Amino acid sequence: MVPFAGWEMPVSYKSIISEHNAVRARAGIFDVGHMGLIKIVGDGAATLIQKTATNDLSKLSLNHCQYSVLCNESGGTIDDLLIYKLPMYYLIVCNASNTEKVLPYLKKQAKEIEHADVSLYENYCMLSVQGPRSEDIVSQALNVPLAGLRRNQLLWWRDIIISKTGYTGEDGYELMVAKKEVAKIWEALIAAGAQPCGLGARDTLRLEAGFPLYGHEYDEETSPIEVGYGWAVKFDKGDFIGKAALLKQKKEGPKKKLVGLEIDGRLIARSDDSVFDKELKLIGKVTSGTFSPTLKKPIALAYVAAKEAILGNQLNIEIRGKKVAAKVVAKSFYKR
Amino acid sequence: MIPEGLKYSKNHEWLKTDGNLATIGISHYAQDQLGDVVYVELPAVGKELKAGEEFGVVESVKSVSSLYSPVSGKVVEINPSLGDSPQLVNEDPYAKGWLLKLEMINPSEAQSLLSAADYKKITETK
């Protein structure tokens, strides 16, 4: 068990690589009860979200969810989120470590809007079932038909919200379950064949898929445009916090860009390792690095000067005092 | 998982002696704490190590740990299988997952290392 944002979380139940491989080949289950769930209700709810988040909420259909980003005035990221549109209210899923920042921030922004009430969605928590067998496992364990559910769509089943979403690069489902029911449902999903997976595999899976993680790829000084998620910033939707700074960044081009790096040899780059160009000039730093269990080699995400962010570009990473050759590749190291 | 007949260091290396020759690896406890080992860096054959000197690293998916030589001596052999199969350190830490063999300068150093029973106490108080 390790402390994680105020929660005690297992790094692994079995071993990181075996859990990772179980998700790629079959299915794994993740206790993501630490994720922040925030409810926004009232006639002003949509106005509040449009004002604070970068994506265009008017494009979000009922019973679907949308990826979006909360930016500060300078375009840096407060948090990245999923926004669920439910019949009576919106539900926001934010990062565990950011809940204590996002909740008061949204409450403060809500004061300027009539009828927008922000509160913790306290009685529910999240489980995630991911992998090619996840549809069979969830439908069998909960006796729910899932065949028609599309990516980013959700359904209510008894007291459970099931959305076809995830953070592993596989098809999968995230379940919002009443806290008093969650242990029973966790057991049922394991009995149906899901391998329990810890924080370690969650990180290697998201990294292989090239997904950013707050605190590594995202922070208050880094914009979604630099992450490469400009598609989640909609300038034609009206005004929102951070718009001017983001628009300037889009027009001028960001100074740094997030890239994938494939590394020669077996040394693993870790966050904060320095990245150099061919002439050994410092041009950036690693944000996340691991050994890819699927590709069986080290991979990393790094911010580099925008002009160096070209696929195939040969760079160097300094790992424990040694310069190691690395090549710029697509961030999605793994694609299903 | 702490075999009798081996000597142990506080840094979780084990040592098996045969005359002047010592075989060194990491304990079951250490490999379990590290998780999946994906890379092992070892010194070149011929290198002379002092007791307590760092001689390499073992890297798992989640972390990197330094390796320290429990005794002084010259490296005479390194495990050739670990380059392609670093997971042997997890699967078989006391046999196929050995790290290196040293020709000891002062074999009496080995006697001051921990017995299996004493090492067991260390792993239990953690």
- pLDDT average, residue stretch A265-270: 93
Residues A2-208, CATH architecture = 2-Layer Sandwich (3.30)
* Domain residue limits, chain B: 7-124
Structural contact between residues A123 and A181, judged by C-beta atoms closer than 8 angstroms: no
Residue A180's pLDDT is 94
Of the candidates A211, A174, A171, which has an alpha carbon nearest to the alpha carbon of residue A189? A174
Nearest CA in chain A to B65: A320
Indicate the residue type of B115: S
Inter-chain contact B38–A266, Cβ cutoff 8 Å?
A: yes
Could you say which residues from 194 to 223 on chain A have a Cβ atom under 8 Å away from some Cβ of chain B?
200, 204
Is a pLDDT exceeding 80 seen at residue A2? Answer: no
Structural contact between residues B85 and B92, judged by C-beta atoms closer than 8 angstroms: no
Percent of chain A exceeding pLDDT 70 equals 100
List, for residues A149-161, the tens digit of each pLDDT value: 999 999 999 999 9
Burial of B64 (0-12, 13-18, 19+ CB in 10 A): middle
Which CATH superfamily does the domain covering A255-336 fall into? Aminomethyltransferase beta-barrel domains (2.40.30.110)
State the Cα–Cα distance between residues A196 and A14, nearest whole angstrom: 8
List, for residues A58-85, the tens digit of each pLDDT value: 999 999 999 999 999 999 999 999 999 9
Neighbour tally for A191: CB within 10 Å: 11
CA distance A328 to chain B (A): 21
In tens digits, chain B (126 residues) has pLDDT values of 899 999 999 999 999 999 999 999 999 999 999 999 999 999 999 999 999 999 999 999 988 899 999 999 999 999 999 999 999 999 999 999 999 999 999 999 999 999 999 999 999 875
Q: Which of A208, A268, A288, A297 to mutate to test the interface with B (most CBs of B within 10 A)?
A: A268
Residues B7-124, CATH architecture = Beta Barrel (2.40)
User: Looking at the whole model, is its pTM more than 0.90?
Assistant: yes
Strand order in the sheet with B100-104: B7-8, B13-18, B21-26, B100-104, B73-78, B48-49
Between A57 and A11, the higher pLDDT residue: A57
- In A180-255 the beta strands, taken as DSSP E runs, fall at 195-197
Inter-chain contact A268–B38, Cβ cutoff 8 Å?
A: yes
Average pLDDT of every residue of chain A: 96
| Mode of pairing for the β-strands spanning B21-26 and B100-104 | antiparallel
Inter-chain contact A15–B64, Cβ cutoff 8 Å?
A: no
State the Cα–Cα distance between residues A314 and A324, nearest whole angstrom: 11
Residue A227 binned pLDDT confidence (cut-offs 50, 70, 90): very high
Provide ipTM, 2 decimals. 0.80
Between B32 and A1, the higher pLDDT residue: B32
Residue B126's pLDDT is 56
Of the candidates A89, A98, A34, which has an alpha carbon nearest to the alpha carbon of residue A69? A98
Under 8 Å CB pairs connecting chains A and B tally to 40
State the Cα–Cα distance between residues B112 and B72, nearest whole angstrom: 13
CA distance A230 to chain B (A): 31
Burial A127-148 (b: 16+ CB within 10 A, else e): bbbbbebbbebbbebbeeebee
Give bridge partners of residue B114 from the DSSP assignment: B8
Residue A85's pLDDT is 98
Report how far apart, in Å, the C-alpha atoms of A256 and of each of A9, A166, A253, A305 are: 33, 27, 9, 5
DSSP per-residue codes, A291-310? EETTTTEEEEEEEEEGGG--
- pLDDT average, residue stretch A8-25: 93
Residue A126's pLDDT is 96
Residue A177's pLDDT is 96
Q: Which of A200, A268, A270 sits opposite B35 (nearest CB)?
A: A200
- pLDDT average, residue stretch A312-320: 96
Helix axes A179-191, A134-142, angle to 10 degrees: 120
Is a pLDDT exceeding 80 seen at residue A142? Answer: yes
Could you say which residues from 242 to 281 on chain A have a Cβ atom under 8 Å away from some Cβ of chain B?
266-268, 270
Partners of A18 on chain B (C-beta within 8 Å) are 36
